[in-house]
Amino acid sequence: MRVRAMPWLMVLQLAITLRRHWKYLEPAERARLATLVKRSQGRPNRLDASERADVRRLVAKLEPMQIARSVMPVGRRAVIARRGR
């Protein structure tokens, strides 16, 4: 039961963290990033150079390394719990 609950804890922690970092962007920046991601359909080569630069700039404002650091301890607990079964 504890192992099954852990993925949900990780998902919740990730969602909370992503929401907090998403608010680092202004509403216009959020809309611009969403538009560019939709337009690219996940493929950077579908954007021109200036649009790719915009995506990089906006993603940098989200602080992806800080997101990873804040979620990593939860992920480690899941791996440790799984090995201990």
pTM (2 d.p.) = 0.69
**Local structure of 83: helix, strand or coil:** helix
pLDDT reported for residue 48 = 95
Residue ranges making up the domain that contains 37: 26-61
Judgement on whether residues 33 and 16 belong to the same structural domain of the protein: no
Q: What is the pLDDT of residue 69?
A: 84
Calpha distance 65→75 (Å, rounded): 15
Q: Within this chain, do residues 32 and 47 fall inside the same structural domain, yes or no? A: yes
Output the CA–CA distances (angstroms, integers) from residue 57 to 7, 21, 51, 60, in the order listed: 31, 14, 10, 5
**pLDDT value at residue 67:** 86
Residues 81 and 54 in one domain: no
pLDDT number for residue 85:
54
Residues in the chain with pLDDT values less than 70: 1-6, 73-85
**What is the C-alpha separation between 52 and 28, in angstroms, rounded?**
17
**In total, how many domains does the chain have?**
2
Residues 37 and 11 in one domain: no
